[in-house]
């Protein structure tokens, strides 16, 4: 590897298991120079972020005519990108909340940066509805703010539910994430060597000193937040699916949408977690904390949710035939054999076929195979939303208005730019914040039990 | 170690393992201390029992916040959509629980989550900027790999020698005396205060602009942040357009254009006239039947009855109200059963419906041609009913009148 001289390849220091965990995680944020791979990745991310800035600037200057949206495809790439990013943002809370309630202790290795990934993905998602409304200086109309027009939002619309669902999800995920980091900020504060670091991490830690009386309330609050976040994570993508399911359009108007969207979101989210985890553990020497065993468990979840998604795809076809509705049948024939068949089969290959390699233990314990499948699934999940939005709209009830939607340069530059924003935030997170929940990893270490004797 | 007794704040014992700490906790608990605590890098399973910590009341705070969140969601949606700003959307009811459930759920969760985090912080007395333990170098490992037990001097049972002996008996690595914190300033750090003040002032600026905009009037046009949608490259209806000979942007129909419901050649049908004379017959092709009569009755009761009354006596609700107000300038609507109207040509009646007469406005723009003729037909029926001789009634009708 090119990283052979990296300080992260050295064995972690410390006289006991707890100190080694602290050192292993904290050094990522403490070394004066991160590994070269971080600089390369950050450079690429910043360039993409500037592409995002330029694209948004041009959009605001020129108007949404720069998009490829046309009659009848009025909802196009901005909505595809929105649903894609919101979906990615589901794995983090799933890992932190649902796996916590299910006492899946392996989650501690990956929950922190899966949560960070969630928040950054939801930030990316939140930008697109604001961009696609056509008057990007008026998105505050989505919120129930008193105004001189004496108008209020319309709460019977799923689009308004979306505002509340995504807004709540972002806020609760951020609170959850921050609360989880408080003890680790304490660790960073106590290890600080400069005044600025001590001040900043000290402020973030709010005077956390690990009192057991505080830990007691902290754990209770964590449990409550997990219990709240679990139904929340299920509600968010259900509400996003209502945007489609409550419309009359064949291909959208389906009761399977909420569970199908939630399974797809978890699927896509885990794919993004492994996409980030494999390089991160490599660059930052976290292989002892994020082990191959963890990656294998995530590969199994990807395999399971991938098959749920595959089941939903086939069930849509079955219902189209079984329901006997001509329009519905046409829509699904058109998906698989029509002008956008290429996107449909691309989706099937990435989402249904590619995860099948995980049946083999050899494949699901090879980090680079997992990374490859993760990237493919990300692509496939983007195409899933493309297929749902574009194929359904481009062949609507009125054949005279049928058309072939082609995204423009700016549609793609905004998508690429949003990756820039995502990776910039993620790389800054890796550099400055505790990337692994140290306190939680320690709590589940074999030597952490309060009863009986043990030796280091 | 050296210290003044006045300066003493408490005694700190350090342990290498969680199990040593838990064992020590049991001894300190059983000795009856109250003002003591343990400090650990991670939550230790079972230490609550060893320390005698009682269950926190946090879940009740969160429950209260959840109920407030739910009530806010109900109130918000009810006030905005069912009371203050009503409008029909897709025929849905203004106020129905199913359509509002997603927002109930989201706000309940949102309020609860805030209560869980901030309730935890408040109950834990956080943020806590300083603590006497901060000045012990060894205590820095509390967030890394060491476990501490601290008994405060303020405890009723605290006795330096006695407490020291108790702690020594729990096999600690060391026991340290901790002094009162006389070094940490009780002032907030200056850079922090300065930053907070600057942010607070800057945060007020947008509100100041909004307040100014609301309180003042201007004759200048509004600011167009993005001009592209306000000033589009297109000709608007009343603007000049050099592309056409007449120089107008708005185009008139081509000469000879006929709209779908126009019959320009059938003067009898569209104007009620033939050669300038009002016709006395209904147009050819106009069906005089029950269906047309029912249509005429329906249109009459919508468009005519408000003034002329349901039976054409000139006593509709508009007329009645005007008479009640008795303002003196009111010209009462015509009673439609009068002789001159019974003799009037149907073409002229049609003309009155179409173009209006005296105070009566024209209804041509609101009633289609066939509907106007249907109204005239129904009017004829009303007139006939008012002047019907007893001999023309059926036996049943005569019985009903008696």
pLDDT greater than 70 at residue B230: yes
Indicate yes or no: CB of A447 within 8 angstroms of CB of B85. Answer: no
pLDDT greater than 70 at residue A6: no
Give the per-residue pLDDT at B258: 81
| 3-state secondary structure (DSSP) of residue B35 | coil
B144: Cα separation from own chain's centroid: 50
Q: Which domains, and CATH codes, for chain A?
A: 7-141+152-446 (1.20.1630.10)
B56-95 pLDDT, tens digit each: 999 999 999 999 999 999 999 999 999 999 888 888 888 8
pLDDT tier at A295 (50, 70, 90 boundaries)?
very high
More confident residue, A272 or B186: A272
Distance of alpha carbon B7 from alpha carbon A81, whole angstroms: 63
Please state the rounded mean pLDDT for residues B207-233. Answer: 82
SS3 for A34-101, per residue? CCHHHHHHHHHHHHHHHHHHHHHHHHHHHCHHHCCCECCECCCHHHHHHHHHHHHCCHHHHHHHHHHH
pLDDT greater than 50 at residue B397: yes
Name every chain A residue with its beta carbon within 8 A of the beta carbon of B51. 212-213
pLDDT greater than 70 at residue A421: yes
Indicate yes or no: CB of B38 within 8 angstroms of CB of A211. Answer: yes
Q: For domain B267-387, give the fold.
A: Cytochrome Bc1 Complex; Chain D, domain 2 (1.10.760)
Give the per-residue pLDDT at A7: 57
For A4-18, A29-43, A160-174, A331-345, which range has the lowest pLDDT when averaged over its residues?
A: A4-18
Give the per-residue pLDDT at B47: 93
Distance of alpha carbon A395 from alpha carbon A330, whole angstroms: 9
pLDDT greater than 50 at residue A453: no
Distance, first Cα to last Cα, chain B: 122
Give the per-residue pLDDT at B272: 86
Q: Specify the DSSP element, H or E, that contains B278.
A: strand B277-278
A135 inside 8 A of chain B by CB? yes
pLDDT greater than 80 at residue A191: yes
Instruction: List the 75-94 stretch of A: residues with Cβ below 8 A of B.
Output: none
For residue A152, give the nearest of B81, B133, B145 by CB distance.
B81
Give the per-residue pLDDT at A452: 42
Indicate yes or no: CB of B85 within 8 angstroms of CB of A151. Answer: yes
Question: How many helices (H) does chain B have, and how many strands (E)?
Answer: 14, 6
Indicate yes or no: CB of A165 within 8 angstroms of CB of B102. Answer: yes
How far, CA to CA in Å, does A455 sit from each of A441, B13, B20, B268?
A: 18, 20, 12, 112
Indicate yes or no: CB of A213 within 8 angstroms of CB of B124. Answer: yes
How far, CA to CA in Å, does A93 sit from each of A100, A106, A234, A266, B43?
A: 10, 15, 10, 10, 21
Mutation site for B-interface testing, chosen from A143, A215, A243 by largest number of B Cβ within 10 Å? A215
A132-151 pLDDT, tens digit each: 887 777 888 889 998 888 89
Distance of alpha carbon B241 from alpha carbon B127, whole angstroms: 69
A126 in Cβ contact with A174 (< 8 Å): no
Give percent above pLDDT 70 in chain B.
Answer: 98
A178 inside 8 A of chain B by CB? yes
pLDDT greater than 90 at residue B221: no
Please state the rounded mean pLDDT for residues A176-197. Answer: 94
Give the per-residue pLDDT at A451: 52
pLDDT greater than 50 at residue A238: yes
Distance of alpha carbon B163 from alpha carbon B31, whole angstroms: 10
A40-78 pLDDT, tens digit each: 999 999 999 999 999 999 998 888 889 999 988 988 999
A282: tokens are: 């490599």
- In angstroms, the separation between the Cα of residue A295 and the nearest Cα of chain B is 25
Closest CA to B124 of A76, A206, A149, A37: A206
pLDDT greater than 70 at residue A11: no
Average pLDDT, chain B: 89
Name every chain B residue with its beta carbon within 8 A of the beta carbon of A178. 117
pLDDT greater than 50 at residue A456: no
Domain chopping of chain B, boundaries: 7-182, 267-387
A198 inside 8 A of chain B by CB? no
Give the per-residue pLDDT at A4: 43
A364-403 pLDDT, tens digit each: 999 999 999 999 999 999 999 999 999 999 998 888 889 8
Closest CA to A380 of A443, A322, A302, A453: A302
Burial of A333 (C-beta count, 10 Å sphere; 0-12/13-18/19+): middle
A175 inside 8 A of chain B by CB? yes
B194: tokens are: 């300065």
Name every chain A residue with its beta carbon within 8 A of the beta carbon of B81. 152, 154-156
A76 in Cβ contact with A69 (< 8 Å): yes
Q: Print burial letters for B345-359: b (CB count within 10 Å at least 16), e (below 16).
A: ebbbbbbbbbeeeee
């Amino acid at each position: 590897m090119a990283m052979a001289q990296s300080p992260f390849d050295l064995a972690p220091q410390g006289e006991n298991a707890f100190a080694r965990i602290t050192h292993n995680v904290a050094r990522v944020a403490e070394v004066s120079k991160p590994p070269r791979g971080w600089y390369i990745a950050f450079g690429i991310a910043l360039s993409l972020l500037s592409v995002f800035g330029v694209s948004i600037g041009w959009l605001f200057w020129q108007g949404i005519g720069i998009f490829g949206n046309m009659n009848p495809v009025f909802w196009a790439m901005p909505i595809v990108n929105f649903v894609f990013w919101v979906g990615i943002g589901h794995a983090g809370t799933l890992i932190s909340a649902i796996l916590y309630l299910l006492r899946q202790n392996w989650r501690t290795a990956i929950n922190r940066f899966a949560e960070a990934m969630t928040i950054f993905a939801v930030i990316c998602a939140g930008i697109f509805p604001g961009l696609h409304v056509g008057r990007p200086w008026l998105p505050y109309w989505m919120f129930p703010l008193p105004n001189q027009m004496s108008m209020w939002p319309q709460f019977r619309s799923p689009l308004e539910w979306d505002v509340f669902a995504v807004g709540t999800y972002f806020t609760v995920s951020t609170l959850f994430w921050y609360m989880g980091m408080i003890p680790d900020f304490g660790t960073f504060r106590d290890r600080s060597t400069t005044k600025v670091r001590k001040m900043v991490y000290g402020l973030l830690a709010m005077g956390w000193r690990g009192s057991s009386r505080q830990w007691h309330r902290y754990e209770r609050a964590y449990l409550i937040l997990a219990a709240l976040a679990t139904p929340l994570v299920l509600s968010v993508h259900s509400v996003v699916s209502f945007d489609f399911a409550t419309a009359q359009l064949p291909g959208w108007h389906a009761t399977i949408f909420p569970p199908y969207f939630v399974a797809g979101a978890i699927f896509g989210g885990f794919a993004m977690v492994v996409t980030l985890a494999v390089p991160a553990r490599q660059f930052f020497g976290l292989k002892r904390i994020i082990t191959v065993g963890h990656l294998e468990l995530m590969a199994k979840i990807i395999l399971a949710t991938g098959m749920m998604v595959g089941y939903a795809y086939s069930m849509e076809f079955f219902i189209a035939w079984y329901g006997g509705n001509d329009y519905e049948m046409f829509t699904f024939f058109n998906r698989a054999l029509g002008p956008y068949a290429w996107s449909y089969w691309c989706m099937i290959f990435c989402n249904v076929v590619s995860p099948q390699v995980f049946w083999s233990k050899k494949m699901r314990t090879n980090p680079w195979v997992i990374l490859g499948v993760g990237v493919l699934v990300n692509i496939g999940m983007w195409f899933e939303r493309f297929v749902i939005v574009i194929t359904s709209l481009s062949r609507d009830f009125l054949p005279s208005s049928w058309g072939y939607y082609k995204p423009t340069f700016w549609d793609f530059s905004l998508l690429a730019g949003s990756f820039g924003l995502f990776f910039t935030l993620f790389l800054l997170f890796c550099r400055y914040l505790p990337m692994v929940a140290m306190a939680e990893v320690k709590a589940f270490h074999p030597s952490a039990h309060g009863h009986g004797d043990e030796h280091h | 170690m050296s210290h003044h007794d006045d300066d003493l704040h408490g005694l700190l014992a350090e342990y290498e393992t969680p199990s040593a700490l838990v064992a020590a906790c049991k001894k300190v608990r059983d000795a009856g201390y109250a003002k003591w605590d343990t400090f650990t890098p991670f939550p230790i399973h079972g230490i609550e029992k060893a320390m005698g910590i009682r269950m926190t009341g946090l879940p009740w705070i969160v429950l209260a916040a959840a109920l407030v969140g739910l009530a806010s969601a109900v109130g918000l949606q009810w006030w905005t959509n069912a009371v203050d700003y009503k409008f029909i959307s897709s025929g849905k009811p203004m106020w129905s629980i199913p359509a509002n459930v997603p927002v109930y759920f989201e706000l309940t969760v949102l309020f609860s989550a805030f209560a869980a985090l901030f309730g935890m912080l408040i109950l834990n007395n956080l943020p806590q900027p300083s603590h006497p333990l901060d000045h012990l170098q060894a205590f820095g490992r509390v967030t890394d790999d060491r476990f501490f037990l601290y008994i405060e001097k303020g405890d009723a049972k605290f006795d330096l020698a006695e407490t020291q002996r108790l702690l020594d008996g729990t096999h600690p690595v060391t026991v340290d005396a901790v002094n009162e914190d006389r070094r940490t300033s009780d002032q907030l750090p200056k850079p922090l205060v300065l930053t907070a003040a600057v942010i607070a002032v800057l945060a007020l600026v947008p509100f100041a602009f909004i307040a100014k905009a609301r309180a003042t009037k201007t004759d200048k046009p509004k600011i167009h942040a993005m001009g592209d949608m306000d000033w589009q490259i297109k000709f608007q209806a009343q603007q000049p357009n050099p592309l056409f000979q007449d120089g107008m942007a708005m185009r008139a129909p081509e000469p000879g254009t006929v709209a779908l419901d126009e019959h320009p050649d059938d003067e009898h049908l569209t104007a009620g006239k033939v050669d300038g004379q009002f016709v006395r017959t209904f147009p050819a092709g106009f069906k005089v039947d029950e269906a047309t009569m029912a249509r005429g009755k329906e249109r009459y009761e919508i468009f005519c009855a408000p003034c002329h009354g349901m039976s054409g006596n000139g006593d509709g609700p508009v007329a009645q109200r005007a008479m009640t107000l008795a303002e003196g300038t009111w010209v009462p609507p015509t009673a439609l059963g009068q002789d001159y109207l019974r003799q009037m040509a149907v073409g002229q009646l049609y003309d009155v419906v179409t173009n209006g007469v005296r105070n009566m406005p024209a209804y041509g723009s609101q009633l289609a041609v066939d509907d106007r003729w249907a109204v005239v037909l129904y009017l004829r029926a009303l007139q006939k009913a008012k002047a019907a001789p007893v001999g023309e009634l059926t036996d049943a009708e005569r019985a009903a009148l008696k």
